[in-house]
Amino acid sequence: MRIVILLYATACLAGCLGDQAIPQTTPATEAWSLAWSDEFDTELDTTVWTAEIGTGEEQGLAGWGNDELQYYTGRADNLRVEDGHLVITAVSEDYEGASYTSARLISQNAKEIQYGRIEASIKVPSGQGLWPAFWLLGKNIDDVGWPTCGEIDIMEARGQQPSWIGGALHGPGYSGGSSLNQSYYDKEQSFDSAFHVVGVDWDQDRISWWVDGDVYHSVTRGSLQAHQEWVYDQPFFLLLNLAVGGNYVGDPNPDTPFPAEFKIDYIRVYQRN
């Protein structure tokens, strides 16, 4: 039995998979064609990915704008490709004045996407204060700033709620706590126990979010209010990170397990035929 609850803005939509098998999410070839992928088979492709370093102060965003606690590094302790997976690891340690380290990758100026199906196979960590995310930012962020550039959160998770996956849209007039967001809840299993495929279908006038083929959130150009602007007619770049603490998840507690691993099996981008 499927239960669907729609509560807009800062609330949730819940869809339960029940006893269904996880569906095959590879698009039918007559509808979609693979445009680009990173399968993370051997080593990190540094022609695509750049590891951001620090606490955000270097970018003028102390705590990366969210009161996060980690120092991002490019060290193998925090960032590696292993057994065909990208592994981002959060570690509890004193490092450069921070109490935690982790990693954050961006594809800015190297790989940018405008429209299509963007998906990743992911396995998230569990534990209070852990915040893994797979998301997009507008190419023009350095010129216009955030949120005017737009942000598409394909997937973000709260470690203390491992059965929930969130998706959100941030833009002019709907950012931060006022983002257009919803969540997907699987009552049968948690997202830290196995890999799941998360993604968005991004078209000129609509963005839809899904988990394992189940659509749980959709925003259209026409659904925005008069004071809100649709800014998704330009290329966006990719981001992957595992934050520790911050205003979305709160601080870790003594029971939070470290090291904590956010694993990505692949990222694939399809275009409509």
The catalytic site residues sit at 151, 156
The torsion angles phi and psi of 106, rounded to 5 degrees, stand at: -130, 155
HSE at residue 167, side-chain half, CA atoms within 13 A, is 23
- What stretch of H or E contains 138? strand 130-138
Q: For the residues of 115-183, what is the DSSP string, one character each?
A: SEEEEEEEE---STTEEEEEEEEETTHHHH-TTTT-EEEEEE--TT-TTEEEEEEEBTTB-GGG-EEEE
Does residue 222 come out as left (phi exceeding 0), alpha (psi in the -120 to 50 range) or beta? alpha
Alpha carbon distance 94, 87 (integer Å): 21
Max Cα separation, the chain?
53
